[in-house]
Amino acid sequence: MVGIEHLKSGLSICSHIGCNNGCVYCVLSQMHEFKGEPKLIINPDSLVAQLTTKECLYHKATTPLIINNRTEPFLNSTKSATYAILDELITHNVSNPILIISKLCLDDTIKQYFSKLNIAILYSYSNVNSDINYTHFKKDITILKQHIPSESLFHYFRPIIPNINDNLQDIYNVLDIFRLSGFAGSIVSGFRITESNKRLLRYSTENIDRTHKFVDNNLYDFVWDFSENFSYPIFRHTSCIVGLLRKERNMLGYFNKKYHCNKFCPNVKQCNTHNVYDSKVIEQELNQKFGSDLIFTINSNEMKISSPVSQEITAYIKNAYGIPVKADTVILSPSEKILTDE
């Protein structure tokens, strides 16, 4: 199914077989039934048209869109749909920030989109020898630089896994390659700690937050030093790239937090700008969209939600208005529940 999925960082316009309960759930618990081959069962024009429906958690110009995030967007079987979705977004005059994450090299078709859409390419390379691009990523870099403006091209280094790809010298070498290649920065991200993978860590996981991706603080000290030594931007979150595309602060509130934010981010000025909330506009728009299902109050600093609310809705509100959200009861998405229950 090509469908619209609501992620913490925005909407994922995704492509997978047989997904009746949301693509994350499909991928994590049911992909063995589908032989891993994505198929298109809804046309891109119908897909993009869903963005305007009341049920879709989409806010014009603000909600980030992640294209085919639950598969590889540039497989031979998916890239025509990826480009068709981009064409539809142009037709609908969509100005929202758009992210495409890929381990494959893009052909020159991508060139035409940067002047028409607010788009960033995140080339995913994590220095793991089983990765599809392990042996030829340097060749990919050369081609990507020919097709993609430097300010729109980022390196995605994820996940950092203990005893797999966390050697500091190796990380240095990889970051240096992308720095010298003129990329706009690298995102360095971790992995979720669960009962099944906690054995990978060298120490107790008792005090580790299992609701967020984990990277050892010593590693972040190391990559921040790299960033400072070379004035090369290193980010922890995809939402930081969204902020760059929007030319606004990180709407999920990660700015100025240790191990989340560093001074060489080109968006520091925007993130240090105080956000003024128009509570009347927020209240009116949320009441139109959710009605009495969403019970909330807004003060000068944050929104408080007293009714049960999904993670997807809280992320939608943050991205749309940049207001901090506190909820009494947060309903986990299917994928988050699977990971938490592990």
User: Distance from first CA to last CA of the chain, Å, rounded?
Assistant: 26
Contacts of 275 (CB under 8 A, 6+ apart): 249, 322, 323
The string of DSSP codes covering 195-252 is TTTGGGSSS--TTS-TTS-B--HHHHHHHHHHHHHHT--EES-HHHHHHHHHTS--TT
pTM attached to this predicted model: 0.86
Domain annotation for the chain: domains and CATH numbers: 1-95 (no CATH), 136-273 (no CATH), 279-341 (3.30.1340)
| pLDDT per residue rounded down to tens, the chain (342 residues) | 345 666 665 677 754 433 333 333 233 333 334 456 777 767 889 889 988 888 899 999 999 999 988 789 999 888 999 999 999 999 999 999 999 999 999 999 999 999 999 999 999 999 999 889 999 999 999 999 999 999 999 999 988 888 889 999 999 999 999 999 999 999 998 766 666 666 666 666 566 665 566 677 788 899 999 999 999 999 988 999 999 999 998 998 888 777 788 778 889 888 888 888 899 999 999 999 999 999 999 987 899 999 999 988 999 999 999 999 999 998 877 666 665 655
Burial class of 202 by CB neighbour count within 10 A (0 to 12, 13 to 18, 19+): exposed
Buried b (16+ CB within 10 A) or exposed e, 73-86: bbbeebbebbbbbb
The answer to whether 146 and 108 have CB atoms below 8 angstroms apart is: yes
